[in-house]
Amino acid sequence: MSTATYTYAGKTFRFTVDNGVVFHNTYAPDGTKLHWEAVAGSMKGASEDVDLHAAEIVPGMFLVGWTEKSGMTVTHAMNMNSNTVHAFWTYETENGRVGELHTGTLEEI
């Protein structure tokens, strides 16, 4: 698929998650990289640059995933038609790997 169809590419979004964390997500012009920064909530101040794996599922809906330096895996089902996200992430705890499912909204900034 041509990255020209990645409608989020080259844009920055405020991603407000149902758990109170707010991110500013800035996507590279070709849609293959992301700089995220937590600007509110329990992760405030954290940021990272990650490589993206992305596919358009249907027009305006993207499945986007990445692995962070910490080993956390993140997958977003981004609906650019309704500006909503279903997010799933996994991470290690002292009791083993856990996963969390969240929803959120996108606002272009």
Domains annotated on the chain, with CATH? 3-108 (2.40.128.20)
pTM: 0.88
Q: What does the pLDDT read at residue 107?
A: 97
Here the tokens at position 18 are 């149902």
- pLDDT exceeds 90 at position 100: yes
Write out the DSSP string of 7-53.
TTTT-EEEEEETTS-EEEEEE-TTSSEEEEEEEESTTTT-EEEEE-E
Instruction: Kindly report, residue by residue over 26-76, the tens digit of the pLDDT.
Output: 999 999 999 999 999 999 999 999 999 999 999 999 999 999 999 999 999
State percent of the chain over pLDDT 70: 96
Q: What does the pLDDT read at residue 2?
A: 46
